[in-house]
Amino acid sequence: MGRKGGNDESSVSFGAVLAGLFFAVALYCATDPFKHSAIADFPDFETYYVELPSWSEIPTERDSDNLLQKSKIMFKDQVQGPESVAFDPQGRGPYTGVADGRVLFWNGESWTDFAYTSPNRSEICDPKPSILSYSKNEHICGRPLGLRFDKKTGDLYIADAYFGLMKVGPEGGLATSLSTEAEGVPFKFTNDLDLDDEGNVYFTDTSTKYPRRNFLQVVFSAENTGRVLKYNATTGETTVLVRDVYFPNGVSLTKDGSFFVFCEGGKGRLRKYWLKGEKAGTTENFALLPGFPDNIRTNDKGDFWVAIHSRHSTLASLEAKYPRLRKFLLKLPISAKFQFLLHIGGRPHAVLVKYSPEGKLLQILEDSQGKVVKAASEVEEKDGKLWIGSVLMSFVAVYDLY
């Protein structure tokens, strides 16, 4: 009897301890006294509901052979955060934009400086040991993301996260600004672009709230201030084509120029914007992806390669549905980096998917453990090879298709 009573007592006190603990955690989260949370520096941070595709709609295809693990790692530690990989009209390159703000050119033997986006570079932009240490000076040094060559003129168009839409001649050097705002609202996070035969540019501004260095806050917030834009080469005017987009990212025109596809990162889908025909000026869904996309590139056949930053995860789905739960979790003393790792399903991995111009899934390549390739940002197909860039890694991966 005495024993039993003792057990009751301890279970009561255990309950009290639990309640106390719960209260302490709740209080901690409400006040975050030590400013350890992922959103401590963002007093206006808010979380929003975002409707993700249901699990039954998400493609279930997998590359069980993890074929991407056969990729070759190139230029290790010679390029930091090579988001976009492009070749010039003569087929030379690649060219890539790196974390310190330069656009580099591989001349076949070594990397040389090709272009830069900031008129105001100084020693604070010099190479550093870690990719993450660049972010605080990005607004001074520039951060080139999407790159595209004009096949006729050889001009390189650059989406710089801080300096907006830019262009530099075939000889390189300091890029000139084409556009920094639309409808009076400045770009905060210019991300990717594509251009048509007349030099009109279709591009994305990921957020009007957060700059690139705070891309995790865009992800965690699920805000939809992103815009898809058009720069008219004749008039020099920029107009908004699509607004209220959740993390708009990659943009790629179809081979015949009748539409372009853009990645809606926050929803894990591709959308299509009609440029020609009776549907011109309207958008529709193009494909639901197995995860959250970064860039998209069209190959010679007209198919689209999409780099998936991470697959859908149970936690990401729950967090999308319950923004208050998300905010609560974000107030725990867990770093933004670790919160992001949880969000992407525990470990960086790589998924590349290829879609036909009709939106049919044609091919999927993976490294589900992230052993060789992880956090892919872009995939550029050239001469039977896939060139895979990553904004978070210090190399380019090359996968042989045949």
Residues that bind ligand NAG in the complex, under the rule CB under 6 A: 120, 122, 124, 140, 200, 232, 234-235
CA distance 335 to 82: 25
Q: Which long-range contacts (CB under 8 A, 24 or more apart) does 316-324 make?
A: 316/52, 316/292, 316/343, 316/344, 316/345, 317/52, 317/55, 319/343, 320/49, 320/50, 320/51, 320/52, 320/222, 321/49, 321/52, 323/47, 323/48, 323/49, 323/222, 324/47
In 3-state terms, what secondary structure has residue 137? Answer: helix
In the complex, what is the shortest distance from the CB of residue 122 to ligand NAG, in angstroms, rounded to a whole number?
4
In the complex, what is the shortest distance from the CB of residue 141 to ligand NAG, in angstroms, rounded to a whole number?
9
Nearer to ligand NAG, 200 or 313 (CB): 200
Nearer to ligand NAG, 200 or 208 (CB): 200
CA distance 30 to 221: 17
Nearer to ligand NAG, 126 or 300 (CB): 126
Nearer to ligand NAG, 78 or 232 (CB): 232
Nearer to ligand NAG, 50 or 159 (CB): 159
In the complex, what is the shortest distance from the CB of residue 239 to ligand NAG, in angstroms, rounded to a whole number?
8
In the complex, what is the shortest distance from the CB of residue 158 to ligand NAG, in angstroms, rounded to a whole number?
17
In the complex, what is the shortest distance from the CB of residue 276 to ligand NAG, in angstroms, rounded to a whole number?
10
Give yes or no for a contact between 304 and 296, defined as CB atoms under 8 angstroms apart. yes
Q: Are strands 176-179 and 164-168 parallel, antiparallel or unpaired?
A: antiparallel
Phi first, then psi, for residue 329 (nearest 5°) are -65, -35
List Cβ neighbours of 58 (8 Å cut-off, separation of 6 or more).
268, 288, 289, 290, 312
Nearer to ligand NAG, 231 or 304 (CB): 231
In the complex, what is the shortest distance from the CB of residue 203 to ligand NAG, in angstroms, rounded to a whole number?
13
